[in-house]
Structure 1
């Protein structure tokens, strides 16, 4: 029964998000590029890479910044004037770009890989939702994580752990992050940077 409800929910959400125009999105991305780079690769560790992220996921995040469901003063202010068409176009543009991978700090590789692939006590393996290569599952709304900035990933996991970020499906990421130590969070974040 839960699966049927989930399928219906995902179908409704998917149909509610309009398909965007990547060319129009590129033309609208000038302000975004200040933080997220002209090709969706952020120059700063605290701002996420957007290149290659799933269109549906990006649209959800922008819509939630706009509505206030996801709380970030800077992004909420940026998203506020966006129309649904703008959100769809920007999401299509960034989804069309090539993701970038970074170099992993060797001292985090083994622990990060272990947690990502197999999980840890109280922590489900990340591969269950984000896939073996960190590319996520677009249809289910699970984001592309491969190559994401370390600082951004650490901040995101700690915000889930503290309940500051709460726009995850069924509280899944909050439950997982609550069971993670700072060391585990840092290891997974570093592992994701170079996952491909």
Structure 2
């Protein structure tokens, strides 16, 4: 069985979409894959309870308890590796990862970003798209590299920027598309992995 480990920092709505897709799509039978664990850097991440409700192992590793970003990433790698992941999925994990961490999971780590990359890497993407006068916005699933939000693009979803949009209203429409796109992209990535 190929294990998927998901990292979250908050509500875990994309993680929830992946868990639902794995259950409804019978990934264990069809893809020989399962969501084995959900880890968070925040004890108050709401997504942890949902993962536990689905019988998925959870772990909290508070980044504030570590002297450096590197020390946190080393400890996080040790926790992740306990689950022997075939795939590591970032789903709203609000930490910039060190090059050593990224190298350790090279070729088997995905992220979703709320913009049409390469436009608007980083934070505040919806407001930046509105401020720039964009007619379209969206989200991107990409492979993770050491350069923030710059890995190979696997999937994108496009939504129109409507007159009167706020960052919140645009963000809500983009998020609804993320919940559809991310599970599909994860499944496609798993199908392409060697058995």
TM-score by length of 2: 0.28
1 or 2 for the larger relative contact order (CA 8 Å, sep ≥6)?
1
Choose between structure 1 and 2: higher helix proportion. 1
Choose between structure 1 and 2: higher strand proportion. 2
TM-score by length of 1: 0.28
